[in-house]
Amino acid sequence: MLKIRYSLDLELTNSIRDMALPEELHFQVRNLVVKTKKGSVLTKGEIIAEHPAPGGGAYHAAVGGKVTGVNYHSLIVNCTGGDDVVPPVDVNSMGKGAELLRVLQGLGVGVSQLSGKAEVLVINGLNPEPGVSVAQQLLRDGREELAAGLALARRLLSPNRTVLAVPKGDEVTIPGAESVQVRAKYPYSLDALVVRAVTGREFPEDTRVMNVMDLYDLGRVSLTGLPITETLMTIAGNNYRVPIGTPVRHILTVLGLETHPGDSIVLGGPFRGEAIYSLDEGVKKTDYGLFITSSDAIPAVQDAACINCGECVLQCPARVQPHLISRCAEYERFEEAERYGLNSCFECGLCAFNCFARRPLLQYIRFAKAQLKAKGQGAQA
């Protein structure tokens, strides 16, 4: 079995740094509706694409410039723009109904956890994965934004109880929320497990959960009225504010990070992240880390047969059957995959990480969910 570190405790040594702007931004627009075209000149903050599903979100130019290429996968912006920025929107003067949610969504805020009335609002303040410290950094350095975000979230949801889940031994607070300490070990940082630790219940319908990265974004929108155009990423132990769409090649060059033949570059975290296939790929809003892994340390997944060892079942915190789900997904028997617990899986990645045969279990699970979602079935992303 692979030897890995599950602790979420990290030491913060620096404040947040700004990533230098690249010459080009490469936005990933696969499955999005593109709202601009080749040759258009964009102002910073202008919308470039939106998700076709209600609540799917919108994506904006992190810098002004000219659109030099658009295809099914990506949209390229040459960063030649000046200092002009789209006009801000005063979200705090708006009522708290559907119109505010629509505006927030249009500014790039994920609103799926902000609608309706909630009994409990849980803020997940744990670092999402081992080696990633963005949550810890924001709880230390983003307090003004987090307070503004929490005020807006509470205005929308009117919860009777607001809880900030923090790592055990940590005394951090946000005004308006009681702090509850949670075990700082992966996978206990995942939303579903944080909610269970705080409420004692599994998937309670009257509870909403947001992580501090999303709360920070909400607070920035509340304070500035401007759309979200950056993501915070842990790279080589430091946290960087990175414009969305920044090519990975630019990050490696600026930070002097070397890669070797056989290495994989993973966007996200070591358990849930996705390896990229091109250094020209631009970072997404949900990419909270960048890792370079060698095939010696973490062997690549392969198209191997399951040997029925049962390790994935033992590892699964959702108590489902990853080996059977993956076999169904492999042969496109998606409805059968649901019967083995597909929709209860919260994509922790532990099954894939610990599979002796190195089967791409998480990829199969995500594939099955995406196929069912496209058919209008399947509840969970």
Residues of this chain that bind ligand SF4 (CB under 6 A): 306-312, 315-318, 320, 322-323, 345-351, 355-357, 359, 361-362, 365
Lookup result for tokens 């909403």: 208
Q: Closest distance between ligand SF4 and the C-beta of residue 349, in Å?
A: 5
Judged by CB, which is closer to ligand SF4: 26, or 272?
A: 272
Q: Closest distance between ligand SF4 and the C-beta of residue 135, in Å?
A: 20
Phi, psi angle pair for 376, to nearest 5°: 85, 15
Residues 6 or more apart in contact with residue 59 via CB below 8 angstroms: 27, 29, 32, 47, 48, 49, 50, 108, 244, 285
Give the helix/strand (H/E) hosting 198: helix 191-199
Judged by CB, which is closer to ligand SF4: 113, or 326?
A: 326
Q: Closest distance between ligand SF4 and the C-beta of residue 53, in Å?
A: 23
Residue positions counted in the chain: 381
Judged by CB, which is closer to ligand SF4: 107, or 193?
A: 193
Asked whether the bond before 187 is cis by omega within 30 degrees of 0, the reply is yes
Judged by CB, which is closer to ligand SF4: 356, or 367?
A: 356
Q: Closest distance between ligand SF4 and the C-beta of residue 291, in Å?
A: 18
Q: Closest distance between ligand SF4 and the C-beta of residue 45, in Å?
A: 36
Q: Closest distance between ligand SF4 and the C-beta of residue 186, in Å?
A: 11
Strands 65-70, 41-42: pairing kind: antiparallel
Judged by CB, which is closer to ligand SF4: 106, or 341?
A: 341
Nearest to 238 by CA among 129, 132, 124: 132
Judged by CB, which is closer to ligand SF4: 86, or 325?
A: 325
Q: How far is CA 37 from CA 51, 86, 118, in A?
A: 16, 18, 40
Helix orientation angle between 134-141 and 212-224, rounded to the nearest 10 degrees:
40
